[in-house]
């Protein structure tokens, strides 16, 4: 039988560390343009108590999303031990393209996947590079697409990347500026003939694009009196929390059911989008409850949001890389482990993927 298997992983954690205390002099405003009078450090402490974020990483000023993605991609290729010229596809998940430091202009032409192909020096004309814009679940969606192409006989080897520089598209006067960050993660997937079933077992995808569609959106700064027409990423946090808690566990359960898994306790690790620590914990608790399990070991879900923040499409592949390399205490992977990946984001989109390591 043939399996879609992750054969190499790589990540790039940007060098600029920004801690909560670095926002001490920020002026924060509400969505209604009202000045938040509480001290900024108090605002940061409250946000940390909800999201778990105490630090985040920003790319250096001379780095763009495609550049940090190329670094992660090279590491994944080296880890897989493959010749980059043998790649059939480069799938790059992002949302805002390349943004120069100090600007807000989104640059998607040529595609970021094409830029990575160029950076890697790949000359193979049949290596097809393309971008996926699917909100924060983009990297998982890229893996789903690679698996589909494998099963269709169109490709046998793919590089799937998730990278973003959200720090360049945030409103400095919005408290959510402390949530978003930069990062890049990459994986090599191969269509491998083996005696036992492993790799991608099943997937599930949902999209709610009616009243939910603008829970993440672009708009002007919250600070009143500013004349510029720039647009920044905005989100309705409470709406997203309620949406995610309702639908993400359902998608995760649907995915496991497709994989023939009836006992949630078979899952060894859950790699969930690092959006908000309390939200992620609530989603996992709800998932276990769907199976009649009221208590779960928190070690099933590794976290890196405390130190890296929310880097959108990069959160899951960087988390996978860190666990793979035993960089998160108490977490490691073993052959045969059942892994569950899940994410939620702009669209509103949700996806999940069951994987046998």
Same domain, 122 and 40: yes
Shared-domain flag, residues 148 and 245: no
> How many structural domains does the chain have?
2
- Asked if 55 contacts 182 with a C-beta cutoff of 8 angstroms, the reply is no
150 and 204 co-located in one domain? no
pLDDT at 320: 98
- Rounded to an integer, the average pLDDT of 140-152 is 98
**Cβ–Cβ under 8 Å, residues 73 and 129:** no
DSSP letter for each residue of 167-213 = GGS--TTSGGGGTB-EEEEEEEEEEEE-SS--EEEEEEEEE--STTT
Predicted TM-score (pTM) of this structure: 0.95
- pLDDT of 107: 85
pLDDT at 289: 96
Which of 193, 216, 251 lies at the terminal end of a domain, its last residue? 193
166 shares a domain with 262: no
pLDDT at position 104 over 80: no
Average pLDDT score over residue span 324-333 = 96
pLDDT tens by residue, 155-177: 999 999 999 999 999 999 999 99
- Tell me which DSSP letter residue 303 carries: -
> In this structure, are 186 and 220 located in the same domain?
no
Residues 225, 101, single domain; the answer is no
Does residue 199 contact residue 87 with C-beta atoms inside 8 Å? no
242 shares a domain with 141: no
**Residue 119 to residue 66: CA distance in whole angstroms:** 9
Mean pLDDT, range 125-141, rounded to an integer: 97
At residue 259, the pLDDT reads 97
pLDDT of residue 284: 97
* Each residue's pLDDT tens digit, 231-246: 899 999 999 999 999 9
Q: Which of the residue ranges 5-9, 207-211, 223-227, 277-281 would you say has the lowest mean pLDDT?
A: 223-227
Same domain for 234 and 164?
A: no
Say whether both 58 and 207 belong to one domain: no
Res. 308 pLDDT band, cuts 50 70 90? very high
Contact 142, 91 (CB under 8 A): yes
Q: Report percent pLDDT > 90 for the chain.
A: 89
Instruction: Work out the average pLDDT over 347-352.
Output: 96
Domain boundary among 163, 193, 223: 193
Please confirm whether the linkage preceding 110 is cis (ω < 30° from 0): yes
What would the mean pLDDT of 220-229 be, rounded to a whole number? Answer: 85
352 and 209 within one domain: yes
The answer to whether residues 269 and 135 belong to one domain is: no
Which ranges constitute the DSSP H helices of 228-336?
237-258, 277-290, 305-308, 315-324
pLDDT band at 225 (very low <50, low <70, confident <90, very high): confident
Least confident of 7-11, 131-135, 163-167, 226-230: 226-230
Q: pLDDT averaged over the chain?
A: 95
**Residue 265 and residue 327 in one domain:** yes
Confidence band of 100 (pLDDT split at 50, 70, 90):
confident
* pLDDT higher than 90, residue 290: yes
CB 270 within 8 A of CB 300: yes
Q: How far apart are CA 96 and CA 85, in angstroms?
A: 27
Domain holding 8: CATH number? 3.40.47.10
**Does position 270 have pLDDT exceeding 80, yes or no?**
yes
Residue ranges making up the domain that contains 258: 199-356
Last residue of a domain, one of 141, 166, 193: 193
């Amino acid at each position: 039988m043939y399996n879609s298997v992750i054969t190499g992983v790589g990540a790039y954690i940007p060098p600029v560390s920004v801690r909560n205390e670095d926002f001490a002099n920020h002026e924060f405003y509400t969505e209604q343009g009202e000045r938040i009078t509480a001290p900024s450090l108090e605002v940061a402490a409250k946000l940390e108590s909800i999201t778990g974020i105490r630090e985040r990483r920003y790319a250096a000023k001379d780095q763009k999303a495609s550049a940090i993605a190329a670094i992660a991609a090279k590491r994944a290729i080296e880890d897989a031990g493959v010749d980059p010229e043998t790649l059939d596809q480069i799938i790059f998940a992002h949302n805002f393209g390349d943004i120069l430091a100090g600007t807000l202009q989104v640059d998607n032409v040529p595609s970021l996947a094409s830029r990575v192909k160029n950076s890697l020096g790949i000359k193979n004309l049949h290596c097809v590079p393309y971008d996926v814009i699917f909100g924060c679940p983009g990297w998982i969606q890229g893996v789903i697409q690679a698996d589909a192409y494998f099963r269709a006989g169109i490709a046998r080897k793919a590089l799937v990347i998730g990278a973003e520089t959200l720090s360049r598209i945030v409103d400095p006067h919005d408290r959510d500026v402390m949530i978003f960050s930069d990062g890049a993660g990459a994986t090599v997937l191969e269509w491998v003939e083996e005696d036992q079933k492993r790799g991608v077992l099943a997937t599930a995808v949902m999209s709610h694009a009616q009243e939910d569609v603008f829970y993440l959106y672009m708009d002007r700064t919250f600070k009143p009196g500013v004349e510029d027409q720039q647009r920044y990423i905005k989100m309705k946090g409470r709406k997203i929390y309620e949406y995610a808690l309702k639908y993400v566990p359902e998608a995760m359960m649907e995915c496991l059911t497709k994989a023939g898994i009836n006992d949630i306790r078979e899952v060894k690790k859950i790699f969930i989008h690092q959006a908000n620590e309390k939200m992620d914990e609530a989603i996992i608790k709800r998932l276990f409850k769907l199976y009649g399990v009221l208590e779960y070991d928190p070690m099933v879900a590794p976290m890196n949001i405390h130190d890296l923040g929310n880097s959108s499409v990069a959160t899951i592949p960087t988390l996978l890389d860190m666990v793979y390399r035993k960089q998160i205490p108490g977490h490691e992977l073993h052959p045969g482990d059942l892994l569950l990946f899940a994410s939620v984001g702009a669209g509103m989109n949700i996806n999940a993927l069951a994987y046998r390591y």
